[in-house]
Chain A
Amino acid sequence: MKSDELKSGPKQLKTASEHGIQAPLALLAELSHRCPLQCPYCSNPVQLEKKTGELTTDEWKSVIDQAVDMGMHQIHLSGGEPTVRHDLEDIVEHCTVKGLYSNLITSGVLLNPDRLKKLEKLGLEHVQLSFQDTDNENADRIGGYKGGHAKKLEVAKWVREVELPLTCNCVVHRQNIDNLENFIQMALDLDAERVEIAQVQYYGWALKNRAAFIPTPEQLDHATEIVEKARIDLKGKLVIDYVIPDYYAKHPKNCMGGWGRRFLNMNPKGEVLPCHAAETIPHLKFDNVREKSLKWIWENSEAFNLYRGTDWMPDPCKSCDRKEIDWGGCRCQAMALTGDAKNTDPACSISPLHKEIFAMAAEEARHAPPEFIYRRYGVRFNSPI
């Protein structure tokens, strides 16, 4: 912990309501960290949770009840790979009964037509299917899963056969960004409503592989042009969400709409996090739904209140007129790149470290990409999926 971080003690920290913050809008529920894929840009924490530590079906149902009572609108059923849970059907059904909009974020490789049909019948409202590339061989290489891409194309068809709406989640980087037009065409061919083109964000496992993924500024400019043109051409036909790598942005992303302002993330063992990468900030202590109510945690949890609002900000954030627009950018990225989560996110052009980090990333992008450091769940825990 940084010495001055908690000098005043947690009781001094303002709570959600003292900040004028209302109930969160959506819950990202990481049902499990188990995953058959090995993506080198995995967004899960470096320390993965074992199956035996995961919340039970009834515990997730209680979380859903609490989320609805708080006024949350949506739940994203994610992971790891959420379909490894055999009780996914029960969880989806409970969301439907309670009127919580449910969205399944999946790699798809473990799904079959019957299970999809069942999930649709139980009220699942939307499927987000991840794609690693449009090129079969390269996609399987990136995901570290043989036959994965072909299976995903099949799964997309099954999703549409049961008339579930589909978003293609495409994580792009320098090793597939030249296929951007193909990604958009693939989404159209698969009859998707929406495509998410998201550049890799560099914290957790992905930071280990930054040199393999960071695109050159030229690649990025070209990609942005393609997206802007497609957005005009496909207006009303396909929704395109686009996230640039914020290393090349002028302003940092207003991460999560501000720390602890709009969203909650829960990890498989029930800890409640302000964002899915928050575990990369080592001094944060997370409260658990096994011990406290979700409402209490949102209001009082130290991990949330530490970086809520603007009181915690040092300069240049403190004196910046965008401080309530960007909220200082991403705390996890500040931690990863500067060693202190309170610092201005170096993605911001005003950050004193921006130039140095930008130059380092651009330098990495100019060299041949190194081998991936793969994310292997099984190797760490030798646990069955």
Chain B
Amino acid sequence: MKDILKINESVKPKFPKHVRFRHNKARDEWVILAPERLVKLDPVAVEILKLVDGKVSVGEISTDLSKKFNAPKEVIMKDVIEMLQELSDKGFIEE
């Protein structure tokens, strides 16, 4: 049985095997696909999830995005943690 994942700066998030973060060509949109689930994503979530690969940490993702969007890392990281925690609670993100 899996343990509950608490997202923090050092967690290296990834998608579980059955969860796909995929670009739908016909609709030109990024979505998360899981069994009988479809999650539509806002542009910020897409930017975060594009960096999720199981190798980089939440801290590193936040640093990356803070440079890209020219915003303080702490502010970005709060959003990153909140979004990934929500997805993790629903089973769409694991470590």
Contacts and interface: CB of A to CB of B under 8 A. Distances in A.
Interface of A: 23, 25-26, 68-71, 73-74, 76, 99, 101, 103, 125-126, 128, 163-165, 167, 188, 191, 193-194, 235-239, 241
A194 B2 contact: no
Contacts of B90: 239
Interface string B65-95: 0000000000000000000000011110000
A158 B38 CA distance: 27
A241 B91 CA distance: 13
Contacts, number: 66
Given A125-B20, A165-B17, A188-B1, A73 B89 contact: no
Contacts of B5: 236
Interface string B14-51: 00111010101111000101111010000000000000
A73 B38 contact: yes
Given A25-B38, A236-B88, A236-B89, A101 B20 contact: yes
Nearest to A239: B91
B18 A71 contact: no
Nearest to A71: B26
Contact of B35 (A25, A69, A99, A165): A165
A241 B34 CA distance: 13
B18 A193 contact: yes
Given A101-B33, A193-B91, A194-B91, A69 B2 contact: no
A188 B36 CA distance: 19
Contacts of B89: 235-236
B24 A165 contact: no
A284 B17 CA distance: 40
Nearest to A67: B26
Contact of A167 (B16, B27, B35): B35
A99 B4 contact: no
Q: Which 3 A-B pairs have the closest CB atoms?
A: A165-B18, A71-B26, A236-B4
A126 B1 contact: no
A75 to B, nearest CB: 11
A49 B17 CA distance: 35
Contact of B17 (A74, A103, A163): A163
A194 B24 CA distance: 25
B2 A237 contact: yes
A126 B91 CA distance: 14
B33 A73 contact: yes
A313 B38 CA distance: 29
B26 A194 contact: no
Contact of B26 (A69, A76, A191): A69
A241 B35 CA distance: 11
A256 B91 CA distance: 23
A165 B16 contact: yes
B3 A193 contact: no
Contacts of A235: 4, 89
A163 B1 CA distance: 14
A194 B3 CA distance: 14
Contacts of A69: 26
A128 B35 CA distance: 9
Interface centre among A99, A194, A236 (most CB of B within 10 A): A236
A271 B52 CA distance: 41
Contact of B22 (A26, A99, A236, A237): A99
Nearest to B26: A71
B84 to A, nearest CB: 12
A73 B24 contact: yes
Contacts of A188: 1
